Structure 1
Amino acid sequence: MDTSRLAVERAIIMMWNHYDEPLSLDEIADSAILSKFYFSRVFRSVTGTSPGRFLTAIRLSRAKNLLQETTLTVTDIAYMVGYNSLGTFTTRFTRSVGVSPTRFRSLSHSGLPALPRPEVSAPGGSGTVHGTLTLPPSNTPLRIYVGAFEGPVVEGLPASCDVLDIHADGCRALEYRLGAVPIGQWYVRATAVAVDWSESVSRPDARKPVFVGSSKPVVMRADIAVKLGIRMRATNTIDLPILLALPELDNRLPPGPMQNTSRATRLVLR
């Protein structure tokens, strides 16, 4: 492993351990044993985002956990994850997760309503992204989320999304399709979580990403179809936390019987 990646990993571990503190760029760079200017460049080249944005993602990810796992007030949680203003915390949480902190906690009991799967062209035109997801071997059922996002952080509502279920010992190459992707530049991100339907329906918060996949930015033009293959890999330290309200709040059962363990099914999102 190269020294730059090791330095970034040290910084990320430090952020996870001290996210509740008012960390400065100097302090984070010191943990990587790099000057802050060089560190910022290296950090972005390794993770795809800035140290400050990564720290924000860690704080909001931890807030999601606390909203589900505790009865602490939203105000208490805001301060526990490093915010000095409830308003700032609520605004950033809502923008990144897609629902307010209070709504997120409420939905943890009932599950997230189905996300619309866009099929109608967006104003100004749209296109389609499709291709194959290649997954590492796994002996557990997986639910895979694929979405088009404005930036490298998986946050807010995707411009278009697809959800696939793969049964234990199922196929390792899956076809996905993102319809009605608006004109512009988009980041396609895929996340696979292990699911045990005998338990996860009642405890969707227990689902943690096991594989992730990404691509270079896709430039979408009107009425075109972009073919994009994505090779997924096991998660590691440098992966940004997922801020979208999925998969924690997704308690929908997969369509069809679960007895067949050699196939994949698409979860209808409408």
Structure 2
Amino acid sequence: MQAAVERAIATMWDRYEEPLSLDDIADTAILSKFYFSRVFRTLTGTSPGRFLSAIRLLKAKHLLLRTELSVTDISYQVGYNSLGTFTSRFTRSVGLSPGRYRTLARTGMPVAPRAFRSAAARRTCEVRGSVGSPEVGLPTRIYVAAFTDPIVQGEPVACDILEGPGEFVLSGIQEGVWHLRAAVVSVYDVEPQPWKRSPLFIGSSRPLTVRADHPIEVDLETREFCPFDLPILLALPELDCWQLPQPELAAGAIGLTRG
């Protein structure tokens, strides 16, 4: 089944600009669409449609940096028929509008961190633990954040930024089910072309059920990307800035603050 889903994901990357339906994608896996959807979600943590959308938005990020195409042209090139739908999904997923993303990524200047959603009316919990990563002999920065779903997109409910492996604390997490995600990025030895950059390693937790006033401890181990991993859509300076990031910009990650 893994090979079948890998074929389907390869099709999404190769034909993301086409109006692919669930039937089209399932056909490449040689499975019925209902069975394919179940297997796909088991292996990736999300649906084929959301995976395809993540690929399209990542490609849009690349085109915003690599070309002078208008936002309208880019929306059509990555498979959207509506500029409004593309803009709203991009903004919700990346944390910036397409035009704002292009401008800020090219200047290399971080956005002033946004405040997280207020938890004043609800009791909250603290999630803490440690995050590790393979030794690479380079300075690294690790982003750890809690999201509403497995896709690293939009505004996290809490985030911590570490200067290498170590302890993290995520405060103010409300009751509910959350997904912890970690991304390890290089600080100095960074690929100069943003569209070629990727995290060194990523990590994730099982879905966490948070109950008020019940602290949770989670240890995260990171690993290299695999075909079943969704692309990171949330804008991070080390991945998205045109200019190489500077150490003093660490806490100014686009859309992120310490939890």
Give the TM-score, by structure 2 length. 0.88
Q: Aligned equivalents of 2:58 and 2:88: distance in 1?
A: 14
Partner of 2:43: 46
The Cα of 1:165 is off from its aligned counterpart by: 2.3
- Distance in 1, matches of 2:28 and 2:187, equals 36
Counterpart residue number, 1:34: 31
- Aligned AA for 2:148? E
> Once the two structures are aligned, what percentage of the paired residues are identical?
51
Native 8 Å contact 1:185 1:219 kept in 2: yes
Contact 2:117–2:157 at 8 Å: present in 1 too?
no
| Deviations, residues 191-219 of structure 1 (Å, cap 9, x unaligned) | 1122326x66x765553112111111112
Per-residue deviation at 1:24?
1.0
Pairwise CA distance, 1:267: 4.6
Letter in 2 for 1:155: Q
Q: Deviations over 1:15-56 (max 9, x none)?
A: 000000000111111111211111111000000000001000
Distance in 1 between residues matched to 2:12 and 2:141, nearest whole Å: 29
Q: Which residue of 1 aligns with 2:246?
A: 253
Aligned pairs for 1:63-74 within 5 A: 63-74=60-71
1:233 to 2:223 alignment: yes
Aligned to 1:156: 154
Whether contact under 8 Å (2:125, 2:210) holds in the other structure is: yes
User: Does residue 196 of structure 1 match 2:193?
Assistant: no
Task: Please provide the CA RMSD for this pair.
Answer: 2.4
Kindly provide the CA deviation profile for residues 83-141 of structure 1, in whole angstroms up to 9, marking residues without a partner as x: 01101101111111111111111111233324357698543121111101121231222
Evaluate the alpha carbon distance shift between residue 119 and residue 71 of structure 1 in structure 2; reply closer, same or farther with a 3 A threshold.
closer
Matched, 1:213 2:210: no
**Deviations 1:167-203 (CA, angstroms, capped at 9, x unpaired):** xxxxxx4111111112221110011122326x66x76
If each structure's helix is expressed as a fraction of its own residues, which one has the higher value? Answer: 2
Q: Distance in 2 between matches of 1:90 and 1:135?
A: 35
Which one of 62, 86, 94 corresponds to residue 83 of structure 2?
86
Aligned in 2, Cα 1:252/1:210: closer, same or farther, shift over 3 Å?
closer
Aligned CA distance change for structure 1 residues 226 and 44 (closer, same or farther; 3 Å)? same
Q: Distance in 1 between matches of 2:146 and 2:12?
A: 27
**8 A Cα contact 2:57 2:233, kept in partner:** yes
Amino acid at match of 1:165: E
Distance in 2 between the 1:72 and 1:141 partners?
35
| TM-aligned CA deviation for residue 153 of structure 1 | 0.6
- Unaligned runs of 5+ residues in structure 2 are none
Q: TM-score, normalised by structure 1?
A: 0.84
Cα gap change, 1:31/1:122 in structure 2, threshold over 3 Å: closer, same or farther? farther
Residue correspondence of structure 1 range 113-132 to structure 2 within 5 A: 113-116=111-114, 121-132=119-130
Q: Name which of structure 1's ranges 19-28 and 135-144 shifts more when overlaid on structure 2.
A: 135-144
Contact 2:142/2:182 (CA < 8 Å) preserved in 1? yes
Q: Among 97, 102, 107, which residue is 1:105 paired with?
A: 102
Cα distance in 2 for partners of 1:176, 1:117 equals 19
CA distance in 1, matches of 2:130, 2:25: 38
* 2:131 aligned residue: 133
| Residue in structure 1 matched with residue 178 of structure 2 by the alignment | 186
Q: Which runs of 5+ in 1 are unaligned?
A: 167-172, 256-265
Change (3 A) 1:43 1:73: same
